[in-house]
Amino acid sequence: MSLKEIGEFGFIDRISRGCLIRPEGVHTAIGDDAAVVRTGADRFLLVTTDLLVERVHFLREATSGFNLGYKALAVNLSDIAAMGGTAREAFVSIGIPDDCPLAFLDDLYSGMQHLAAGFSVNILGGDTTGSKQDLIINIVVSGTVDPPELLLRSSAQEGDIIYSTGYLGDSRAGLHLILNSIPADSPELSALFDAHVLPKPYLQEGRFLAASGCIHAAIDVSDGLSSDLGHILRASGVGAKLYAQQMPISSNLQVFCSRFGFDPIEYALAGGEDYTLLCTADRKEAARISEEYRAAFDRPLYPLGEITDTGRLELLGADNRLQDITPTGWDHFKDE
């Protein structure tokens, strides 16, 4: 069997067997957005890590150091947000190729420090090494959460309403501009470019949702709606029905899709790196939480579907036809 056949997630399943040597004290091991460790009766420690590799996750010539540093930390903060947690400390490890200018690295730390300051996160350590060719950045972030407020991928229940805290598909549109060297020559394209390079960590929103007491499950959208919702469905043993007409699609994405001939629904379903929170709320509390969220953030919580007992991911199209969706988000190894 090859890595290509089992894919990134098959690989993680495979290596996770045998990793839990000392289960006491571990609440959630491999399989959620962060690991959850008991540190006392009233506190959970959250730990998450993400790796960014040049030419896989970013093109050095197409990014500023600031934006890269910001994003490398943002994607980790997003995982803490998806657990309902407060981010606390960060550790930054970096592999630096010879041709990387010091000014770029200074700028990278400015971007990281700017975001860290915005969310009261310390950078407490890391590691520095050379690299033969590619710039490599790995960040570990810790956080905390009160046990009753922990949000997991595995707690969705049939009947729950599925929400996103923001628009879906914008980041992939921004990536399309970068990969095709299309200038962001209008306010719409410029907003899509920003959505890709400066994703917002939804930490305050995650805390708000966790404290509301009516969110059952959550994940952040890193690989794409269909793929990340798929993780909730698998972990919770449920299915979901999405409504094409309710997809949170920005007017910027609409403009982009009409100009370049893409389908916005496809972008919303399969586009990754939006880093919005996807959560499932108790149906009976859904109206209340939506109202309170709007009052708190002056933005809507976007309802886009519901949890079902089918075990499948389905999309109700604008034509009222129901079709099965195969998760099509990002996998580092699979071909399709």
Q: What does the DSSP 8-state code read for residue 54? A: B
Using left for φ > 0, alpha for ψ between -120 and 50, and beta otherwise, residue 204 falls in: alpha
Distances in Å between the alpha carbon of 239 and those of 52, 164, 226, 271? 32, 17, 12, 20
Nearer CB in complex with ligand ADP: 12/26: 12
Stretch that binds ligand ADP, among 28-36, 207-215, 233-241, 263-271 (CB under 6 A): 28-36
| 12 scored as a contact of ligand ADP (CB under 6 A) | yes
Taking the C-alpha atoms of residue 158 and residue 32, their distance in angstroms, rounded to an integer, is 20
Taking the C-alpha atoms of residue 5 and residue 301, their distance in angstroms, rounded to an integer, is 37
Stretch that binds ligand ADP, among 31-39, 115-123, 162-170, 203-211 (CB under 6 A): 31-39
* Strand residue runs (E) in the chain: 26-28, 35-40, 43-53, 86-97, 122-131, 136-145, 161-164, 215-220, 239-243, 277-281, 302-308, 313-316, 322-324
Q: Give the x-and-dash track for 194-233 against ligand ADP (CB under 6 A).
A: ----------------------------x-----------
| 318 scored as a contact of ligand ADP (CB under 6 A) | no
| 30 scored as a contact of ligand ADP (CB under 6 A) | yes
The minimum distance between CB 153 and Mg ion, in angstroms, equals 9
The partner in contact with residue 32, picked from ligand ADP, Mg ion, none with C-beta cut-offs of 5 to 8 angstroms by kind, is ligand ADP
Taking the C-alpha atoms of residue 69 and residue 223, their distance in angstroms, rounded to an integer, is 20
Stretch that binds ligand ADP, among 24-32, 133-141, 307-315, 328-336 (CB under 6 A): 24-32
| 79 scored as a contact of ligand ADP (CB under 6 A) | yes
The minimum distance between CB 16 and ligand ADP, in angstroms, equals 6
Closest CA to 241 of 250, 229, 253, 223: 229
Structure tokens at 156: 């969705």
The minimum distance between CB 181 and ligand ADP, in angstroms, equals 28
Nearer CB in complex with ligand ADP: 31/118: 31
